[in-house]
Amino acid sequence: MTKSQTSYGDAGFSQFIRMAFSRHLGHDREDYEKPVIGICNTFSEINRCHSHVKPMVEAIKRGVILEGGTPLEFPTISVGEMFTSPTTMLYRNLVAMDTEEMITAQPIDGTVMIGGCDKMAPAQLMGAASADKPAILFTGGPMNNGEYKGKTLGACSDCRFFWQEYKAGTVDEEELNAINERLAPTAGHCMVMGSASTIAACAEAMGMMLPGGAATPATENERLRLAQETGRAIVRLVKAGIRPSDIMTRESFDNAIKILMAVGGSTNAVIHLIAIARRLGIDLSLNDFEKHSRTTPFLANMRPAGKYQMQDLYYAGGISAVLKELSPLLHMEELTVTGKTLRENLADVQMDQEYRDIIRPLEKPLHKEGGIAVLKGNLAPDGAIIKPKAATKDLLQHKGKAVVFTSLKDMKERLNDPDLDVTPDSVLVLQNAGPVGAPGMPEAGMIPIPEKLLKQGVRDMVRLSDCRMSGTAFGTVLLHVAPEAAIGGPIGLIQDGDWIELDVESRKLELLVSEEELELRRTNWKPPHFDDYTRGYPILYRQHVLQADKGCDFDFLLPKADQEKDRKETVAASGATT
């Protein structure tokens, strides 16, 4: 009754009135003297990836009670990618703030957070890092595989694949609707190695989720057992006084980056891991991702970069099996939410040889390097991201003329114009779709192939933007170009017909325009005028969001020493004077 007291000016009265109003749950005073565990329930009928979590919440409660704690549910914001306008990334920081404030303000000793759709889990980890009370992440789990005429379907890689074929005229509307019915067949989040699966994998590698938590499908009995064990584990963490800052260390973030590379995970995870780390004062940068990409082999044969899905990975042993295979490269003494080290968690894990096409041996990887590459050059002074293994090999070294779209609206209006001056060798450029420009950096980076080229058989082109793409997407897509166009980044200086050179092996992304011409364009550049949002949270977002290479968090949520440093670095890199 003395935790996080409401301010009435009288501590004794605060306890007295709190107890009176707490009795409606049937608890006595001694129940609140046990470890009080808040269960951050993000159930939602709109966010379908969280619509199935109620039985899991009940299982978590059972586990808390079995271990001698008192479970108390509380709600926070729940957002889902397909059901949030304009994009869930705009609201990730709001979810993080909600999570942090409720953990801090309420009289609880520890928290279990229910994640699922791809921005929820990173937001919750950001909030938990800042609140720094004992916490465990639990997710609703991935969907089962879909199937259509003997072909395995995966949401939402096949959403994108078949929509593109429909636009190309190779799939008719009747077949498209039949496929649509089978793309998301069960409860759970996307079952390919998209952002949701990737963040769950990273959380397990960091030690913030119980072993097995990332890959177990939403429909498996095992997920309910994991939920109950999560309830028990959080009580043990509270009793031991183990906090997120004890678990999410610099070394555990290295482990998370390595698992990201080994499973060919989502590019979104780069932004999220940086944001979570910086909440803890850990200066994670794109250089860390590039370093580990060069030295971490690609082991898990997962879509969209491979051919299997989360249900298959579960049968093969899940993320625990990948971690075991990767263990010679990991920091094995890092503490986890089990109260044990990563080494102890993996001690009894064995790899079944029957599943070796899903999880390759360390000495015989799918690829020698990891699934994400960081590019730099005069076009991206602070970096850009690509998934080489989900791209067309022949386009990884490419030189082409820019076809520029100055906004999402401009792209929508002109992309399929029959008179658009575009060829298969062109580089499609989307400006002003970044954190500030959009706002919220939507998943529009997989710029659609113009319909006239689709009908000629073109299925991939080099595409370049300051926004993101879904972890389920694919193609030769350059993302997160920083600084973004809306704050004066070089991507905003590109004009139609400019030559752009891409060399992924050399990690180079260059605008082949003279420095004199670029300086003239900088002088003439004017910041865009925004009239789409005039009040509320989106204005706060635009005023305070950091760039992609800094995690897109709000500047005022970082440790104070980092705030002014970030602002100066961003302005200097953009070359802008505003």
Give residue 419's pLDDT.
97
Cα 348 to Cα 346: distance, rounded to the nearest angstrom: 6
Q: Token match 């030769």: residue?
A: 476
Is the confidence at residue 570, as pLDDT, over 70?
no
What is the average pLDDT across 340-361? 96
Q: How many CA atoms lie within 13 A of 254 on its CB side?
A: 14
Q: Token match 């605060």: residue?
A: 14
Give residue 567's pLDDT.
60
Is the confidence at residue 165, as pLDDT, over 50?
yes
Is the confidence at residue 2, as pLDDT, over 90?
no
| Residue 504 · residue 462 · CB < 8 Å | no
Q: How many CA atoms lie within 13 A of 78 on its CB side?
A: 23
What is the average pLDDT across 468-489? 96
User: Residue 487: pLDDT band by 50, 70, 90 thresholds?
Assistant: very high
Give residue 561's pLDDT.
64
3-state secondary structure of 367: strand
**Radius of gyration from C-alpha coordinates of the chain:** 24
Cα 83 to Cα 88: distance, rounded to the nearest angstrom: 8
What is the average pLDDT across 281-309? 96
Is the confidence at residue 380, as pLDDT, over 70?
yes
pLDDT in tens, 409-423: 999 999 999 999 999
379: its two tokens: 């076009």
Is the confidence at residue 575, as pLDDT, over 60?
no
What is the average pLDDT across 345-366? 96
Give residue 578's pLDDT.
37
Cα 319 to Cα 207: distance, rounded to the nearest angstrom: 12
In the chain, the percentage of residues whose pLDDT exceeds 70 is 97
Is the confidence at residue 459, as pLDDT, over 70?
yes
29: its two tokens: 């005073």
Is the confidence at residue 290, as pLDDT, over 70?
yes
Cα 362 to Cα 365: distance, rounded to the nearest angstrom: 6
Q: To the nearest whole number, what is the mean pLDDT of the chain?
A: 95
Give residue 343's pLDDT.
98
User: Residue 577: pLDDT band by 50, 70, 90 thresholds?
Assistant: very low
Cα 2 to Cα 33: distance, rounded to the nearest angstrom: 10
Cα 158 to Cα 150: distance, rounded to the nearest angstrom: 14
Give residue 125's pLDDT.
98
What is the average pLDDT across 194-211? 97
User: Residue 568: pLDDT band by 50, 70, 90 thresholds?
Assistant: low
